[in-house]
A = this chain, B = another copy of it.
């Protein structure tokens, strides 16, 4: 059978569509008990559910939130998506997701499509290059940026305290006889997150009077191994520090270390950002700066839903929320602890 409409229910209950509509929306205040139970019975029996398309058109509201993620291969993104899905469902919102693959034009298309589709709000992990579009979209539907900032515009932002995270990681890596440290990143990443992480790193390096710097780790495992070997050789026997700027780079680092035959933590002290199951296992445990993904997701949704439900009122000023993360020190930076020791060490945000 074709799909039921509110009219069909009304006809069957011998009432008008508006009465059924009132029932659906819980406006029981002026409705006889008998009508009410009759409608209830029919809806129950037929399994009727109102068309959200028609309802969205009428109400100009969709209870749908659009999420645009830069790179779903990065396990950070899928963890984030899982958290967002859980929490938005709990708040009564549907999630429509798009994946830009770090491609600005795909991102632009996604933003427009989601806006056209009547998203009540957008959560965007932008890959950059759409500053103007994002700013314009804001006065159609609220936008919250995730992790990555759009410098010029005044858009809400939820992010980790990347500066603190990297500074603490540097300190952990260099705690024991390391006098050269490199932050390994990707050459095609121009995001604000990368900038913040590299800037803090270089500042920390200078204030520790240590050698090292930021360098893009080659995609090719052999080339990357050569890079590492060179660093290792130049440090005259003492171990070097290596920090992967994200989970993707860390994957390459692990492979390159294997190819280069560099011992961890003997010849290299390594650390990474974002906590995944493998971090507990590789090299007897890899020191990690764990972003609070659940906290980030919760904050982003809270901000967004507040703006959505406050209605078309005055936008208020831009809000910027930094969620602190944790440093989890493990054997990859510690020769003195037992091989499987895990020591979470909360980091206070202070800036």
Contact = CB atoms under 8 A, between A and B. Distances in A.
Contact of A53 (B62, B85, B98, B109): B62
A86 to B, nearest CB: 7
A85 B97 contact: yes
- Interface-central residue, A78, A79, A109, A340, by most chain B CB under 10 Å: A78
A282 B280 contact: no
A262 to B, nearest CB: 13
Interface stretch (A191-199, A237-245, A253-261): A253-261
B94 A117 contact: yes
Interface string A241-276: 000000000010011001100000000000000000
A117 B281 CA distance: 43
A284 to B, nearest CB: 8
Contacts of A51: 57, 116, 118
A50 interface: yes
B62 A73 contact: no
A303 interface: no
How many subunits of this chain does the assembly comprise? Answer: 2
A56 B53 CA distance: 7
A94 B94 contact: no
A221 to B, nearest CB: 9
B96 A3 contact: no
Assign chain A's interface to a size class. 35 or more
- Interface-central residue, A54, A85, A259, by most chain B CB under 10 Å: A85
A151 interface: no
A265 to B, nearest CB: 16
Given A53-B57, A97-B96, A280-B255, A72 B62 contact: no
Nearest to A80: B72
A280 to B, nearest CB: 6
A177 interface: no
A101 interface: yes
Interface string A50-92: 1111101100001010000000110101110110011001000
Nearest to A139: B1
A95 interface: yes
A116 B49 contact: yes
Contacts of A57: 51, 53-54, 57
Contacts of A321: none
A121 to B, nearest CB: 15
Interface of A: 3, 47, 49-54, 56-57, 62, 64, 72-73, 75, 77-79, 81-82, 85-86, 89, 94-99, 101, 106, 109, 112-113, 115-118, 136, 140, 251, 254-255, 258-259, 277-278, 280-282, 284, 340
The 8 closest A-B pairs by CB, nearest first: A78-B78, A251-B277, A72-B82, A85-B99, A96-B96, A53-B118, A52-B116, A53-B56
